[in-house]
Amino acid sequence: MRRRIVAGNWKMNGTQSDASALVRAISVDLNRDSAVQVVLCPPFILIPTVATLLTGQQGIEYGGQNLDVHDHGAYTGEISAPMLRDFGCRYVIVGHSERRALYGDTDDLVAAKSRKALDSGLTPIVCVGESLRQREQNTTESVVGAQLDAVVAGVGSARCAEIVVAYEPVWAIGTGRSATPVQAQSVHRFIRDRLAAANDARAADIPILYGGSVKPDNASALFAEPDIDGGLIGGAALSAADFLAICHAAA
Ligand code: PGA
């Protein structure tokens, strides 16, 4: 049975007091009996705040939104995997489309970051997804396939079973226009088949999350699809009530 995961990507939002209020509100009402693994990904500077509040709490983990491929050194402005581990992170988002589009994260760099995460004891949540233009040109599968193949080559086919994949169509992120459950399932199935080509024995165990305008009112239908194992949540992760409703939908 593969894990169900709901991860919140806070992006570059929040102060210390916002983060405290959000974590408190989520942890008070979270159903800890559910099998859903909840992961919070705050901005780096808010990780200590979140870590302090979550110490000793079951069913809820936290992680970074990015990492550098080096462990330490002259890399001004970057954060390394050992630093994330030092603060108790278990997860890290890798290859988010905003990083690919705005900060030059190529398929090869995403692969190297995924490998560094695994080597350091972090589970990478590897984001893949096509732009609207690519979808309209019917190249979704070749784009997503190439993004995935780079990561599988980087981490090795044996270890690709240790990653989490997030399918996030770029046109659905922050737009209020989610993929339909049928559209998302079709790409999730494609991703699972592609992973099976690399590691047939373990592909069925790899959680594949959907991200892109997941809200309380569309989460249940998306999560009901057989290859959608939870979500990577942006905007709705900043509201405790919405995020908890999405966690509930994944249970
Ligand atoms: P959204 O963002 O839920 O606000 O669309 C998802 C993401 O970027 O991970």
- Tokens encoding 164: 């989490």
Contacts of 36 (CB under 8 A, 6+ apart): 4, 5, 6, 59, 230, 247, 250, 251
Q: Is 168 a catalytic residue?
A: yes
pLDDT at 241: 98
Task: For a ligand 1 pocket test, name from 39, 168, 210, 242 the mutation site with the most ligand atoms within 8 angstroms of its C-beta.
Answer: 168
Q: Is 96 a catalytic residue?
A: yes
pLDDT at 57: 87
Q: Dump strand ranges (E) for 129-198.
A: 164-167
- Tokens encoding 79: 């954060």
Q: 197 to each of 51, 203, 206, how far by Cα in Å?
A: 38, 8, 13
Ligand 1 atom 6: the closest Cα is on which residue? Answer: 234
Q: Could you tell me if the CB of 234 is within 6 A of ligand 1?
A: yes
Q: Could you tell me if the CB of 212 is within 6 A of ligand 1?
A: yes
Supply the pTM of this predicted model.
Answer: 0.98
* The residue count for the chain: 251
DSSP letter at 104 equals: -
pLDDT at 97: 97
pLDDT at 82: 98
pLDDT at 130: 98
Burial class of 103 by CB neighbour count within 10 A (0 to 12, 13 to 18, 19+): exposed
Q: Could you tell me if the CB of 233 is within 6 A of ligand 1?
A: yes
Tell me how far apart the alpha carbons of residues 192 and 185 are, in angstroms, rounded to a whole number. Answer: 10
Looking up tokens 């405290």 gives 20
Domains of the chain plus CATH, in order, are 4-250 (3.20.20.70)
Phi, psi of 48 (to 5 degrees): -60, -35
- 3: amino acid identity, one letter: R
Q: What is the pLDDT along the chain (251 residues), one digit of tens a residue?
A: 789 999 999 999 999 999 999 999 999 989 887 889 999 999 999 999 999 999 988 889 999 999 999 999 999 999 999 999 999 999 999 999 999 999 999 999 999 999 999 999 999 999 999 999 999 999 999 999 999 999 999 999 999 999 999 999 999 999 999 999 999 999 999 999 999 999 999 999 999 999 999 999 999 999 999 999 999 999 999 999 999 999 999 99
Tell me how far apart the alpha carbons of residues 233 and 74 are, in angstroms, rounded to a whole number. Answer: 33
pLDDT at 219: 98
Q: Could you tell me if the CB of 129 is within 6 A of ligand 1?
A: no
pLDDT at 31: 85
Nearest 10 degrees: CA dihedral of 74, 40, 222, 142? 10
Contacts of 133 (CB under 8 A, 6+ apart): none
